[in-house]
Each structure stands twice: as C-alpha cells, then as structure tokens.
C-alpha cells in the first residue's frame, strides 16, 4: 500500500468528484492520505476530511496565502490543536522565497509555528521554495524534537542530507519525473532507505506527461516507479520503505 504523504484533497478542485478521486487512488494502491491545513478558513474542511479512516491531517498556515493570514491566526492554531488532540502534526508552514517582498512576514509566521511545534513535540510539514539553506539553518538553531517533512523537496544531495541530519525526511513528488531535474535525481540516489516519503501535492505539481492537468493521488505510482528506477531497486521496495517512513514521521498506526 502506498501513502500519499502530502495532498490537498480539501481544495475546491476536488469538490465535483472527491469520492471518485478517492476510489481511483484506492484502485491504484494508494491507501492513506496526509492532508495539510493551509489557512484558518480551510481548517474546518481539513478537519472534516480527517474523520475518514484513510485520511490523516495537519493544521497550519501556509506561506503562499500570506494575504489571508491574520496575526491572531497563530493563537487560533494553538487553540485548534488544543481542541483536536487527534491532530498530531503541524503544517503546512514554511518559506516561499519567490515572494521576496513578504519574506519578513513569512519568517515571522513560520517562526511562531515552529515554536508552537517545539512546545508541543509535534512533527512539522514544511513548504520550502528557494530557501533550503536558510530553512535548515533555522531548524538547526531550534532543534525540533519530532522532526518532520520537507515537502516537495527539489534541492541538492547536500541540502537533503542537512535535513536528514536534523531528523527530517524529504518528500519526493512530481519534480522527480522530469528529465531536467538532474540535481534532484542525484539527491534521490543518495538518500537512505528511510529518508524519504512519496507525495503528489495534489492538485498541484503535475507529473511529466500530465502538464496543465489537475494532479491526483492515483498518479503517485509514477513517482514511485521513477524513484525506484533512479535508486536501482524494485518499485515494491520503494513502496514498502516510503510507507513505513511516512508512518514513522507522522505517527500513524
Ligand atoms: Zn502543500
């Protein structure tokens, strides 16, 4: 069984065919889904999905949606975690350095969430675009007790290992299916068996051959096959390893 370790199945993109999407995923061997919260407004939809046996969730404030966050949302996040003790992961949070003009605000929000994760011993799901070095530096200073996931990792072997040394794993998704991702391919080959999980980031991050289309968890097999090919092992081995790693990182039973 495969786990999609990062997919936004609460997004409106799936409102018209959510059940059919879950069914296609199941047919493709994907049996569990990790759905991260992105904005305070969307947490109720994420919490509702989390009631399914095959869905686990996290709650957080995503840097892509800075204009929707308010100062008081961090306090609301702490409260939501109090009210929902079944939520044992914090995120999606992080830094997206493509949006330079709001970078200071992103760091303020990210730091607040990291402190919250630290005080509660929660693993963290991070979104990290063009900020691998700064982010690993920050994580090293904070020394988080429960590690977490660097989702949609797209960096170098050296950057991957810096995260692994801090108790994090990297998420491998659609990016690995593109021939141009040579540096990422080297990183994938260098990872230990227990250093990565598979993800789709659905509905985003379309796979090679599916550009311009909505992504969905049923396609994660293509990521699994590419990772297996790069590592010179059978796809079944990658499936077993990545599923075990996702269970460990997220504390799934
Ligand atoms: Zn995401």
- Residue spans of the domains in the chain: they are 2-250
Lateral strand order in the sheet of 30-36: 2-4, 30-36, 55-58
CATH class of 2-250: alpha beta
pLDDT, the chain, mean = 97
What pLDDT is recorded for position 237? 98
Q: What sections of 167-234 are H helices per DSSP?
A: 182-190, 220-231
What pLDDT is recorded for position 129? 93
Residue 107 Cα to ligand 1 midpoint, Å, equals 17
The span from the CA of 175 to the CA of 154, in Å, is: 7
Residue 6 Cα to ligand 1 midpoint, Å, equals 6
Residue 253 has pLDDT above 90, yes or no: no
| The overall pTM is greater than 0.85 | yes
Residue 33 Cα to ligand 1 midpoint, Å, equals 13
The span from the CA of 58 to the CA of 123, in Å, is: 9
Give 17-73 pLDDT, tens digit per residue: 999 999 999 999 999 999 999 999 999 999 999 999 999 999 999 999 999 999 899
The span from the CA of 232 to the CA of 197, in Å, is: 17
The span from the CA of 181 to the CA of 88, in Å, is: 33
For residue 95, the tally of other CB atoms under 10 A from its CB is 22
What pLDDT is recorded for position 124? 98
What pLDDT is recorded for position 12? 97
What pLDDT is recorded for position 105? 96
Residue 36 Cα to ligand 1 midpoint, Å, equals 7
The whole-number average pLDDT for the span 207-236 is: 96
Three-state SS for 204? coil
The span from the CA of 61 to the CA of 233, in Å, is: 37
What pLDDT is recorded for position 40? 98
- For the chain, percent of residues with pLDDT exceeding 90: 98
Kindly give, in sequence order, each residue whose CB lies less than 8 Å from that of residue 240, ignoring residues fewer than 6 positions away. Answer: none
Instruction: For residue 157, report the phi and psi dihedrals to the nearest 5 degrees.
Output: -55, -45
- Whether residue 253 is preceded by a cis peptide bond, meaning omega within 30 degrees of 0, is no
Give 3-13 pLDDT, tens digit per residue: 999 999 999 99
Residue 125 Cα to ligand 1 midpoint, Å, equals 9
Alpha carbon distances (Å) from 182 to 66, 69, 89, 188, 217 = 32, 36, 31, 10, 24
What pLDDT is recorded for position 46? 98
The span from the CA of 9 to the CA of 204, in Å, is: 11
Give 94-121 pLDDT, tens digit per residue: 999 999 999 999 999 999 999 999 999 9
Residue 202 Cα to ligand 1 midpoint, Å, equals 8
Contact 217, 4 (CB under 8 A): yes
Give 161-195 pLDDT, tens digit per residue: 999 999 999 999 999 999 999 999 999 999 999 99
For residue 243, the tally of other CB atoms under 10 A from its CB is 19
């Amino acid at each position: 069984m495969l786990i999609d370790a990062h997919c936004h199945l609460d997004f409106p993109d799936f409102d018209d065919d959510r059940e059919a999407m879950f069914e296609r995923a199941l047919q493709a061997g994907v049996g569990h889904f990790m759905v991260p919260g992105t904005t305070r407004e969307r947490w109720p939809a994420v919490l509702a999905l989390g009631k399914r046996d095959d869905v686990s969730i996290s709650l957080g404030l995503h840097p892509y949606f800075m204009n929707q966050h308010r100062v008081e949302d961090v306090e609301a996040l702490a409260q939501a975690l109090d009210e929902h003790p079944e939520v044992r992961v914090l995120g999606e949070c992080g830094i997206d350095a493509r949006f330079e003009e709001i970078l200071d605000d992103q760091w303020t929000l990210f730091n607040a969430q990291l402190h919250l994760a630290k005080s509660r011993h929660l693993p963290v799901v991070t979104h990290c675009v063009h900020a691998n070095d700064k982010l690993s530096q920050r994580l090293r200073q904070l020394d988080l007790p429960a590690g977490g996931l660097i989702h949609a990792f797209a960096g170098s072997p050296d950057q991957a290992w810096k995260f692994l040394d801090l108790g994090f794993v990297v998420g491998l998704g659609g990016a690995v299916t593109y021939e141009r991702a040579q540096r990422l391919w080297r990183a994938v080959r260098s990872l230990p068996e227990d250093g990565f999980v598979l993800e789709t980031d659905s509905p985003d991050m379309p796979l090679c051959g599916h550009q311009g289309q909505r992504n969905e968890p049923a396609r994660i097999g293509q990521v699994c096959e590419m990772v297996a090919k790069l590592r010179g092992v059978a796809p079944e081995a990658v499936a077993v390893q990545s599923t075990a790693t996702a269970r460990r990182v997220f504390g799934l039973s």
